[in-house]
Structure 1
Amino acid sequence: MLAVAASLTPLPGLASAAPGVGGVIGWGSIDFGVNPVPPSVASGISAISAGSLDVLALKNGGVIVWGDNNFGQTEVPAAATSGVSQISAGWAHALALKNGKALAWGNDWYGQSEVPAAATSGVIAVATSALHNLALKQGGSVLSWGARTDVPAAASAGVTAIAAGGDHSLALKNGGVLAWGNNTYGQASVPAAATSGVTAISAGYQHSLALKNGSVLAWGRNNHEQATVPPEAASGVIGIEAGWYHNLAFKADGRYVVWGSDASQESDPFTCGPVFGVSAGDRSTFILKPDPTAPC
């Protein structure tokens, strides 16, 4: 298994960078134009989400999309050019959250870009990864549309976080992970360790991640050792991201850890920390740094 932690190096200009705002660095696959990243995401970016064919970034409340455009997914609708608070990239479609309303555009094979009425108000989080979407509403109820529409009764209230995988879904409730959908590789079979004390979740294509007491938990498909957590991700972790076949974690000290598939060198660290955000796509990796131009 390839697992590497990129070290923290003090960066000039870090103190002057706005908290949670910086630039994108990407590496790995160049398919569909996801890499190299466009100049427009070199600064002012507060969030990043990598799909399989394209990448979303959030800048001053407006969505930027680059990569494949066979389904019009890089053509950002006017409603998503301001006031957006969250983004999520799927398989050739995009989600955004604005004033409690889910926005969707791009590929619509399974109706995933047709926002249901229930997701047009009161939404506090959105998630996608492949061909289905999740929305979390005030009060903790989960909605699902697209290739999957099923939601278990346990996810009808009290949920605080959601994650959509390739064909399975995760929710966080009272510190425990709920999982449903395709379970071919055990990705929806929650291990005992993830039934309490969990603070974050992320769903890959056929595997799942959870964060507990600064340590990453992983289960599901392990053909690229994506469900084998390296020692570097066993402590001090504050954020996690599951890609299709590889994962990212970032730590309180600014370092990041990447492991799993390395078919396009997506698990080879391209730069040093500190980072404040990460996103893993299909054989591509993206991180957010306060100043992406600063030398290591």
Structure 2
Amino acid sequence: MALFSNGTVVAWGANTAGQIDVPASASLGGGVVAISAGREHSVALFSAGNVAVWGTNDDDQLNVPPALSGVAAIAAGMYHTLALLRTGEVVAWGFNGFGQRTVPSSAKSNVVAIAAGTMHSLALLSNGSVVAWGDNSFQQLNVPAAAASGVVAIAAGDAHCLVLLSTGAMVAWGRGTEGQASIPAGAAVLPGAARLPPTTRPLQPGTVLTWGAMGNIVPVAARSNNVVAIAGGDLYSLQLLSNGAVVAWGDNSYSQCNVPAAALSDVTAIYSGGVHSLALLSSGNVVAWGANTAGQSNVPVAARSGGSVVAIAAGRDHSVALFAAGNVAPAITTRTAIARATITCTTAATITATATPPTATITAAAVPTVLTIATTTAAITAAAIAASTVTAATIASATLTATPCTLPTVTAAALPAVTTAALTAADPS
């Protein structure tokens, strides 16, 4: 799927159950702000906080809970769907054969991001910890100690989980059916990882810890602290680096890990389907690669060259794009946003965020990466925002100021894909 700048949705690929038959409410300028896709169903979130679902209803995927409103984020699993309310509560519907839609009490408040795998679900809490529920056949619910805090983004694959830490390092766990549990010597274990598999080696933070069925050879490019977004497919993983390049590893049966040249720079968002991958460029165009058995990688002309796409999503065999409506409000989805603004200043900074409602002030103490350093890059993470009770879903703009200098203004327009992934906002001055 793709989301376009007029708030409409376009879908392509397999249509075995009507999953690419976008309803009129979402295809005619209906104010859609976020999208997600399951195996044979698609989901759209409207600016009003309501949702639309289409495709198969074999497992009640279309049976949205009555009077559901105030939704800030959506995530579609294989046969189930999650919704994050603006109150911080998770609501779920659809297939529940493994308890994947039985939301635990710990995910009924203070949740800032959600992710849905094939038969399991994840929630990121405002304190930087992760809650997992559903199928545990491959230990995908056994959150390791290294991911117990400091998490700023989450993603769920077929039967594995990925999290991004505030340091820029990644931690992963879950299914291990292809020898991927043998951690390579170059993959780092973060401090405090005592409960991780015995094959892990305590190295320096800022590189990748990985085990399970998502690639036993972690590429050198993935062993960095410059990761800003993550995504998990069936048996492979994706990373988006701060330089706009995509890194992929794991199963490559359908060339889903062969990142094309077009996705090696200027990428602002990533999404992994079953065995195909999508990338959204800063130009507003979509790049796809991997399996194309149902045309899921045949990006329509409007989405690959029209320059208006602001969000992407992929199901097992179909893709969806959302076209922006000019001022689409940022919303938390399964990809937590990390904004970066370049500052040139030699004094402590104060960040004032205008929320709806209320207005909150985030001080330099709450954002430790904003320091008294000349000509540096300050990272404003979702975790730092959450710590000041302002979520990414409510922020319309963020202004950074300092004395004696004035830092750049980071607006929603400067972060066009904040609904789907981590973005990099350059200094507009």
Greater shift in the superposed pair: 82-91 or 192-201:
192-201
Greater shift in the superposed pair: 187-196 or 246-255:
187-196
**Counterparts in 2 of 1:220-259, with a 5 A limit?**
220-259=250-289
Q: Higher strand share goes to which structure?
A: 1
Residue 138 of structure 1: CA displacement?
1.0
- CA separation of 1:188 and 1:116: change in aligned 2, threshold 3 A: farther
Residue pair 2:215, 2:251 contacting (<8 A) in 1 also: no
- Cα deviation, 1:161-212, whole Å, max 9, x if unaligned, reads 0000000000001101111111335415444422310000111111110100
Question: Which of 233, 239, 246 is residue 204 of structure 1 equivalent to?
Answer: 233
**Counterparts in 2 of 1:91-106, with a 5 A limit?**
91-98=78-85, 99-106=87-94
Residue pair 1:93, 1:107 contacting (<8 A) in 2 also: yes
Identical-pair percentage: 43
- CA separation of 1:239 and 1:203: change in aligned 2, threshold 3 A: same
Question: Which of 36, 47, 62 is residue 50 of structure 2 equivalent to?
Answer: 62
Residue 73 of structure 1: CA displacement?
1.6
- Cα deviation, 1:248-295, whole Å, max 9, x if unaligned, reads 10111112100000000111121323211111111101111137xxxx
Question: Greater CA radius of gyration, 1 or 2?
Answer: 2
Q: Which amino acid aligns with 1:25?
A: V
Counterpart for residue 285 of structure 1: 319
Structure ranking higher on relative contact order (CA contacts 8 Å, 6+ apart): 1
Residue 79 of structure 1: CA displacement?
5.0
Question: Which of 208, 216, 222 is residue 194 of structure 1 equivalent to?
Answer: 222
**Counterparts in 2 of 1:31-70, with a 5 A limit?**
31-42=16-27, 43=29, 44-59=31-46, 60-70=48-58
Residue 50 of structure 1: CA displacement?
0.5
Give the Cα separation in 2 of the matches to 1:37 and 1:240. Answer: 22
Residue pair 1:176, 1:194 contacting (<8 A) in 2 also: no
Q: Which amino acid aligns with 1:127?
A: A
Could you tell me which runs of 5 or more consecutive residues in structure 2 were left unpaired when the two chains were aligned: 181-213, 326-429
SS in 1 for 2:322: strand
Q: Which amino acid aligns with 2:142?
A: D
Give the Cα separation in 1 of the matches to 2:220 and 2:145. Answer: 20
Residue 75 of structure 1: CA displacement?
1.1
- CA separation of 1:262 and 1:91: change in aligned 2, threshold 3 A: same
Residue pair 2:21, 2:54 contacting (<8 A) in 1 also: no
User: How many pairs does the alignment contain?
Assistant: 273
Greater shift in the superposed pair: 205-214 or 189-198:
189-198
Find runs of 4+ consecutive structure 1 residues off by over 4 angstroms. Answer: none
SS in 2 for 1:78: coil
Give the Cα separation in 1 of the matches to 2:221 and 2:11. Answer: 33
Give the Cα separation in 2 of the matches to 1:122 and 1:191. Answer: 35
